[in-house]
Amino acid sequence: MIGKLKGIIDSYGEDFVIVDVQGVGYVVHCSSRTLQNLPPTGEAASLSIETHVREDMIRLFGFRSDAEREWFRLLQSVQGVGAKVALGILSVLDPATLANALATGDKATVARGPGVGPKLAQRIVSELKDKVPAFSGVDPALIRLSDSVEDRSAPAPVTDAVSALVNLGYPQAQASAAIAAALKQAGEAPEAKTLIRLGLKELAR
């Protein structure tokens, strides 16, 4: 199995790159985000590789980092998500954005991936939400806060603060992340106005 390729960029296709490794050209399928970040033809490149072996073919999928490859694998653990859909999601969302979207239950952001409808986005969020901390730097406290806001078990000041930021035009995921950060600074039993003030400072960073 191929896990990594280092070679010279030979040419680009619509959704793949050919990497010349000592005279052998490997066709590597990539997300559009990865393709955009690769060097021009004739320059050296290194890609983390996921090898898919089928009865009738072998396909290589390339990533700029091992973390992106792990997300590719994780996404495909969800029923209805194949390699094409997983690459599509990674084409529009970098790993950090995807992790935050899953952590905060932001189905709309996940649904930005080509071929991802509302039902599939819901399934991806539901099945992967608890796995996010292991795959990224997302604070588990953010996941707990998002869950408590969603099921209305959060303290009133927290719910009011998140709602206030959403009413100011911030996406729910961003508002939840800001208030989660604010809670760490606010001390015990903070008022909503304190959380809003600290949350706005976080968003202004």
Entry pTM: 0.66
Q: Which residues contact 23 (CB under 8 A, 6 or more apart)?
A: none
Max CA distance (Å), the chain: 66
pLDDT per residue over 87-132, tens digit each? 999 999 888 788 878 877 888 889 999 989 999 999 999 898 877 7
**DSSP helix/strand/coil, 29:** strand
Distance CA 194, CA 88 (A): 40
